[in-house]
Amino acid sequence: MSYGMQQAGINILAGIDFDKNCEETYKANIKGAEFIHADVFNLKKSYLQKKMSLKKNDDNLLLIGCSPCQYWSIINTDKEKSEQSKNLLKVFHHFVIHFMPGYVVVENVPGILRRKEESGLEDFIKWLKSKKYEVHFEIHEVSEYGVPQHRKRFTLIANRVTGKKIEPKKQGKKLTVRDVLGVKNGFPQIKAGHEDNTPFMHTVAGLKEINLKRLALTKKDGGTRLSYVDTNLAPDCHKNRKSGFVDTYGRMFWDKPSPTITTKFFSISNGRFAHPEEDRAISLREGATLQSFPPNYIFKTTSIANTARMIGNAVPPEYAKAIGKAIINS
């Protein structure tokens, strides 16, 4: 979010995150911004105000809340582990009350809107309107905003400055996998298990022999497990089953936006994350590219899983940039 907003021309003062692992990556890419390692449940508003020299009722101040969204997600995640995070919007609300910024942005999964009463969203929107903020809130499909990926996100943009609702501008043509990946876009052909120790990180997870055999039989450009469902290569849970969820072990389509890039995109057993024609999962840099990170974005991480987690959890920068531009243009 910080990177996309900065690309739009907004001056990023600071980013707050509970995950210390994000610090090096943040500092490497968000020039001139402070990384504040803090748990917002314990972060004092007075501390933030003093540290960043913030003023209350500042028309030029923008507060952005992108809380972890596992609790509200329809994906099967451990809700117990994310129990506390469900109240992050309510905590963010208190910061907005304290600072009364000119602009507010909230980004989350669509589930936060489906359960707006429990998530605190309903009260937050009512409060914003009572304070004369113009509020746009909607489920956006990021492929309509320059991101080569299908991904639905809840986005709220509120402002008390312009007297008009602000929303990001849709782009015309949707980008596809072919538009951004492949040899012509700077991604040389590689094999499963390839390690790229340069900052480009065209690194890909290894595959067991049986998965290589499965991919060898999987039709290029969008093929699925149905290519070998009748053979002894099919896992027991898939054997002879021609209905149900077929994305697992599937290939991406060249001429469509990619499926949603999750934190497990490096593994073909976690979705349609196989390369459209090479017998491997997509690489770390390919996943980042489908999230709309530029080639020169640096990831300071220690493992494939950590890097994929950071990429999959991110707000696609091009989408954040579209929001930032809408705010500036207003």
Least confident of 103-107, 217-221, 245-249: 245-249
Greatest mean pLDDT range, 76-80, 170-174, 271-275:
271-275
Give the list of residues 6+ apart from residue 102 with CB closer than 8 angstroms, or none: 58, 59, 60, 61, 62, 159, 160, 161
Same-domain check for residues 152 and 279: no
Residues 49 and 168 in one domain: yes
What local confidence, expressed as pLDDT, does residue 73 receive? 46
Whether 185 maps to a domain, the answer reads yes
Same domain, 24 and 168: yes
Same domain, 122 and 234: no
pLDDT of residue 132 exceeding 90: yes
Residue 68 has pLDDT above 70, yes or no: no
Instruction: Note whether 7 and 124 are same-domain residues.
Output: yes
Q: What is the pLDDT of residues 35-50, one digit of tens each?
A: 999 998 899 999 999 9
Range of the structural domain that residue 75 is part of: 2-172+315-329
Let me know how many helices (H) and strands (E) the chain has, helices first: 12, 6
Q: Per the domain annotation, does 181 fall within a domain?
A: yes
> Are 26 and 62 part of one and the same domain?
yes
**284 within some domain:** yes
Cα separations in angstroms, 280 against 66, 142, 170, 269, 276: 32, 26, 33, 11, 9
Assigned domain for 43 exists: yes
- In-domain check, residue 310: no
With bands split at pLDDT 50, 70 and 90, how would you rate the model's confidence at 1?
very high
Asked if residue 283 and residue 190 are part of one domain, the reply reads yes
162 and 217 both lie in a single domain: no
Give CB contacts under 8 A, 24+ apart, made by 265-268.
265/308, 265/311, 265/312, 266/204, 266/205, 266/304, 266/305, 266/308, 267/205, 268/207, 268/211, 268/215
pTM attached to this predicted model: 0.92
With respect to residue 299, please indicate whether it lies within any of the assigned structural domains.
no
Let me know whether 18 and 141 are in one domain.
yes
CATH assignment at residue 73: 3.40.50.150
Whether 199 and 272 map to the same domain: the answer is: yes
Q: Are residues 168 and 183 in the same domain?
A: no
- Is 70 part of any domain? yes
Does the annotation count 69 as an active-site position? yes
Q: Which of 187, 165, 29 is nearest to 103 (CA)?
A: 165
Is 300 a domain residue? Answer: no
Q: Express as a percent the part of the chain with pLDDT over 70.
A: 92
Tokens, residue 103: 């602009």
Q: How many domains does the chain have?
A: 2
For residue 144, give every residue at least 6 positions away whose Cβ sits within 8 Å of its Cβ, in sequence order, or none: 170, 171, 174
Asked if residue 325 and residue 218 are part of one domain, the reply reads no
Please check the confidence at residue 88 and state whether its pLDDT lies above 60: yes
CA–CA gap between residue 15 and residue 99 (Å, rounded): 16
Check residue 71 and give its pLDDT.
Answer: 47
Given 22, 66, 69, 237, which residue is catalytic? 69
CB 218 within 8 A of CB 249: yes
